[in-house]
Every structure is written in C-alpha cells, then in structure tokens.
Chain A
C-alpha cells in the first residue's frame, strides 16, 4: 500500500529497527535486569542504551529518567492518575486526544476536576491567556498535546512550561505526535513530564512508549510488582525507573525503539521536520486546488505545525472517501474521529470526521502526487450528493 497513516503508526520502519527486533528474538532474548548470565546482561545493556538515546533526544541528563511504558496512553495515565488527588484540578487544551480526556473524566469519580483551555489558531498569546485564565488555586497539573493529532497545529509548549513554572504547577506534554518530529529540550524548557509512543515519530515497534521525567515530584506508580531490585522489600522501590517498570519489559520492542531513536538522532529532528513539512505543504497545495475539497487549517508551516493534513470532500463522509482511497487506489489513510472529540468540535467535524494523511521520513514526493491525483479521480467518481444538512431537512 501507499502508506499515509503515519499519525497512527509509522510504516515502513528503518531496516535497523527490524534487524534489532530480530536479533533480540534470535540472540539476546533473555530477561533483562534479572539474572547474571551474559544474555541477561546484554538485554539490560540494550535497555540502558535506549534510555540514554531517548534522554539525549528529549534533552534530559539522566538515563534513569526515561521510563518504558506500553504506549503513550499508559504514560499519560501514570502522570494523570499518579499526580492528581482528591480536590486537585487540571487544565488541558481543546485539542486533546482521549488518552488525556478519558483518564481525567475517570478521575472525576475520585474528586478530581479539570478545565479546558481553548486553543486559538495562529495566536499563541491568546492560547496562553486561555490557559492562564483556566488556572485555579487548586490546579496541580497542566496536560496538553504537543500538536493536534487530527489537524497538526502545534501548541506553544515551551511557553506553557514557563508559565507553569511561575505558578508552581506541574506540566506534562502528550508528545505522541511530536516526539521525533519536533525538537524538544525538557531541561531547558522546564517540561516536567513528556509522554510519547514509540511507534510513531520514533520509528519503533508498536507496544512501546516512554514517560520522560524532569521533576523531583514522582507520580505514584499505577502498577506494583517485581522489578529485579530490592527483592526482599515488600514495598515498591522508589528508585527510577524501577518504580514504574514492574514485570518483564518488552525487550524486542525496546531494542527496535532504540534503533528508531538512533535513526531520528542521526537524521536530526529539525531536518526531518523541515522535509516532512515541505511534503505536507505540497499535499496541502495540491488538494487546495481540487473542487469540493475542504481543508481546515492554515497551510502547514515549520514553526507551527506537524506534517498532518486533514481534509474532506464536500458532502461525503470521511470513511467513504478513505474506503475509496484504499480500495481503488491502494492508499492507506485514517478517517473518522481520530479519538479526539474536542479537536473535532473545534472545526465542527464531529459528524463527518476527517480524512487524515500524515508524512513520515519515508514518504516520497511521487506518492504525494499520486495521492493528489487519486483524490481528484475520487471527486469525479463520487455521485453529486445534496448537502448532508439539506438531506436532514428533507426527512
């Protein structure tokens, strides 16, 4: 397939990632950090190397501040549920994914409240002001996405981090869409927690995620169990990363993730971003000339967007368009609501959803031209429907 579903999972992966996963399965597949034999020590070394590379990528000094999780959602749950207690309040943006919204909704049962600060397109000052206005005396945590997973607009995370420092509020970034794409330095910018998936912009396998900690305040652990350390103690160790890594980790996944991060470090995040935004701009420009295509955001730009294009064809459901792209043209995209109801409300696309195409390092210019010409052919294929709203009136 011609793959544009990189916002969900990047594909293909660098060959080095595939080799690393394979090598663990064939050669070093022992339990890391549990035994003294050579294979176990090699396994622990792979985990350590990945922590070091991730710490470098996110501007963290210490490898133990990189915690491996199952995915970004698990990392976000750890922060949200581990930090917030009865009576606490959190602030989120109006572009959040359900990975942020649902844990907070769940925490309402335990006396936690939250407010939504409206994102203002093209005006970071206004966005920041909305966050400031949402802060209360009992606000303990601000959680926000680095960029909308549906539309690709970025939030001013460095400025939000600085604001949170002033108000002594913890700041957590959901970097699922930005890690490996948008450069970040947690120490310089004062981001307390960064949560991300391993299988998107970091080019690792699915089932990997990272919680990066840059704070002396450590959330409670969601799970407790064997860590290979302090085994005589019945209490969960407080040491990082052991506090959050109970049970046998996903070593093949982490070995692949390590190579994915090395791939990003070698190419350079800024260069990857520049290249992918250029590709997104070409797609945006090509689609903007087609009759009946609705584009929602401003033209993507290096300083304000991730390489995401969300669009619709007038009067047609996004799933219908995505199915045609897949069936007739062998193009993989995501359609529907993208697990982000708040962001869809922002552009009034709750009913139609959107068709989403996301660039990766492996997206070729010729594939973008093919995408544009395929959408053009679909427009001609589709019956001229009356507007969905009009149809409702006729009923």
Chain B
C-alpha cells in the first residue's frame, strides 16, 4: 500500500494532484481503497516520495481532504 490522501470530491482530488505536480511531487488518482472509504468520495491520491511535503502543501492551500494515511501506519 502507498501513502494515501482521501478527498470529499473528485474536484478537490484533481486540484490537489495539480498542486503536487506544480511542486514536482508525483501522485496518482486511484479509487479509494475499501477500508479508507469512510465518508470520502471514490477518489484518492496515492503519493510515493515527499509524502509529508505533499500533505503540508495540501493543508496550507486549504484544499479540503478527508483523511491522510501514511504507508507505515497501516
């Protein structure tokens, strides 16, 4: 499993992906894994490296997210 950020809407997921891309952090839109799906939309961002930086960017830019799940936490 990768590091995953879940969102309340696909528009927010796309906005976050665009933000990360601008900061050269690769991410990928995926369907939200079943066990993380509580109250989120069907889409999440899977992030490889720079996960902490990615989450900070998303928080600082006020992009609404539902949950942040680091790989080692699961």
In the bound assembly, the distance between CA atoms of A14 and B69 in angstroms comes to 45
Q: In chain A, residues 216-231, which have Cβ atoms closer than 8 Å to a Cβ of chain B? A: 227-231
B41 touches A228 (CB 8 A): yes
Q: Mark A8-36, 1 if CB is under 8 A from B, else 0.
A: 00000000000000000000000011111
In the bound assembly, the distance between CA atoms of A240 and B7 in angstroms comes to 12
B14 touches A45 (CB 8 A): yes
- Contact size class for A? 20 to 34
B11 touches A48 (CB 8 A): yes
In the bound assembly, the distance between CA atoms of A48 and B7 in angstroms comes to 15
**Nearest CB of chain A from residue B35's CB, rounded to whole Å:** 13
B42 touches A44 (CB 8 A): no
Known contacts being A231-B42, A232-B39, is A33 close to B10, with CB within 8 Å? yes
B9 touches A242 (CB 8 A): yes
Known contacts being A36-B31, A228-B10, A237-B8, is A64 close to B39, with CB within 8 Å? no
**Nearest CB of chain B from residue A241's CB, rounded to whole Å:** 6
B11 touches A63 (CB 8 A): yes
A305 at the B interface (CB under 8 A): no
In the bound assembly, the distance between CA atoms of A44 and B9 in angstroms comes to 11
**Nearest CB of chain B from residue A247's CB, rounded to whole Å:** 15
A206 at the B interface (CB under 8 A): no
Question: A residues within 8 A CB of B26?
Answer: none
**Nearest CB of chain B from residue A321's CB, rounded to whole Å:** 48
In the bound assembly, the distance between CA atoms of A215 and B64 in angstroms comes to 17
**Nearest CB of chain A from residue B62's CB, rounded to whole Å:** 9
**Nearest CB of chain A from residue B26's CB, rounded to whole Å:** 15
A200 at the B interface (CB under 8 A): no
In the complex, residue of chain A having the shortest beta-carbon distance to the beta carbon of B66: A230
Question: Within the complex, which residue of B12, B18, B30, B64 is in contact with A36, where a contact is CB–CB below 8 Å?
Answer: B30
B23 at the A interface (CB under 8 A): no
A229 touches B42 (CB 8 A): yes
Question: B residues within 8 A CB of A231?
Answer: 41-42
Question: B residues within 8 A CB of A241?
Answer: 9, 11
B11 touches A242 (CB 8 A): yes
A239 touches B30 (CB 8 A): no
Q: In chain B, residues 25-74, which have Cβ atoms closer than 8 Å to a Cβ of chain A? A: 29-31, 37-43, 64
A112 at the B interface (CB under 8 A): no
Question: A residues within 8 A CB of B8?
Answer: 229-230, 237, 239, 242
B15 at the A interface (CB under 8 A): yes
A239 touches B9 (CB 8 A): yes
Identify the 4 closest CB pairs spanning chains A and B, nearest first. Answer: A229-B41, A36-B31, A33-B10, A48-B14
20 A-B contacts, Cβ less than 8 Å apart? A32-B10, A33-B41, A34-B42, A35-B31, A35-B42, A36-B43, A44-B14, A48-B15, A51-B11, A63-B11, A64-B9, A64-B11, A227-B9, A228-B42, A229-B10, A229-B42, A231-B42, A237-B9, A241-B9, A242-B41
Residues of B within 8 A of A (CB): 8-12, 14-15, 18, 29-31, 37-43, 64
What would 10 more interface pairs be, CB under 8 Å, given A227-B9, A230-B39? A33-B10, A48-B11, A51-B11, A228-B41, A229-B9, A229-B40, A231-B42, A240-B11, A241-B9, A241-B11
